[in-house]
Amino acid sequence: MVQLVGSLRKELADSLSACRVLVVGAGGIGCELLKNLVLTGFKNIEVIDLDTIDVSNLNRQFLFQKKHVGNPDYNVEFFRNFMLVMNALDNRAARNHVNRMCLAADIPLIESGTAGYLGQVTVIKKGLTECYECQPKPTQKTFPGCTIRNTPSEPIHCIVWAKYLFNKRLLCTLGFIEVSCLLFSGNPADTEARATASDQDGDIKRVSTKDWARSTGYDAVKLFNKVGFTCPQEVTGTGLKDQQVLGVAGYSQLFSRSVETLRSMLADKGDGAELVWDKDDPPAMDFVTAAANLRMHIFSMNMKSRFDIKWNIIPAIATTNAVIAGLIVLEALKILSGDVEQCRTIFLNKQPNPRKKLLVPCALDPPSANCYVCASKPEVTVKLNVHKTLVLALQDKILKEKFGMVAPDVQIEDGKGTILISSEEGETE
């Protein structure tokens, strides 16, 4: 690989050497982006990433290292140290924070994101373009860990749980009995009773699933064999194999076979080896399909076909990340050349549009006059019952959760300057 400095104008090449850039996120897009920045000629690059590496990420995060940057105060002054900020995040709250910091510091921000084969890159410049929060975003599909583990209420909860089970590498250390007993963790009938007991009696004794299985004489093989013989009424489905719902007996057998197959694959890899999740790997997909469906049955939900479950899992495509990372650098070169007006929002599509284009550039939209983040005089009207709403609820549920404020300050205009909520300790006393 050869650096691109020779193909750039001398003035631009010199500015790359002096330009100090911040890359936020070193995951799939971030790794590709860092490579591109170095090959383009950027020499002063700082990276922020608070995530640790997951086994399933290694195929696309080739610059990985397990690094924790502590808890520094990344405030406006920190962002003012850079000429350009590039976002490679997968978390909306973090995107909002970086967006606001760049607006406050008046630093150009290049925002990006991918989902499977789809991707997008846009440029945010204070006073010139709309910011990340100008347009309302659809509700992010995330689920609390306690819901996934203990009280799943939708099939997607069980699918996420099954994939999480695979990625936690339980197959590497546990046998069929230990893995299968995790299917029954969480009790739909006792959830409310246990929560009440915890409130009334204080913290209850925590027992691991493995210890519980041993103390109760749990026999997974016997249980699954018994389950398999209690469903003679089920009828074999018609249609494509992957679109059939196998029923409890079928998924019990598939679960047993998949666990043993994966353990055998792991043993063949040798000591220290790990299984990497891939939705296109049949044994891995068998495990997730069977585990998710058995958990759906336990919590009284309609089971899903392998086809339905597979397409509920959005893959991370390394090629998509590479394309988007390249587009980020191209937009950065426009900004450093002083041609911000030439920047575009670029969409990467899964298939060509009617004009036979996979990459679709669109003009940047101007700031929204109604945006409470980037408008010249941002304001928002909140109506609430002052007799019932607690100050803590105002701070946590409305200001922090709804509006994404980190350290809000609230003052009452009563002529006395009464401070209701303060980010400084002791000011409300």
Active-site residue 371, yes or no? no
- Which SS3 state, helix, strand or coil, does residue 259 take? helix
- Which SS3 state, helix, strand or coil, does residue 394 take? helix
Question: Residue 338 has which token pair?
Answer: 């002083």
Report the Cα 427 to chain-centroid distance in Å.
Answer: 36
- Which SS3 state, helix, strand or coil, does residue 23 take? strand
Catalytic residue among 102, 131, 146, 362: 146
Give 3-state DSSP helix, strand, coil % of the chain, rounded to 5. Answer: 45, 10, 45
CA neighbor of 325 nearest in space, from 78, 105, 40, 68: 40
CA 48, 50, 52, 58 dihedral sign is negative
Q: What is the largest CA-CA distance in the chain?
A: 78
Q: What is the DSSP string of 371-429?
A: -TTTSSS--------TTT--HHHIIIIIIIIIT--SS--EEE-SSS-EEEE-SSTTTT-
- Strand boundaries in 325-401, DSSP class E: 344-348, 359-363
Yes or no: say if 224 and 255 are a contact pair by the CB < 8 Å rule: yes
DSSP state, residue 186: S
CB-neighbour burial class of residue 9 (10 A; exposed 0-12, middle 13-18, buried 19+): exposed
* Active site positions, annotated: 146
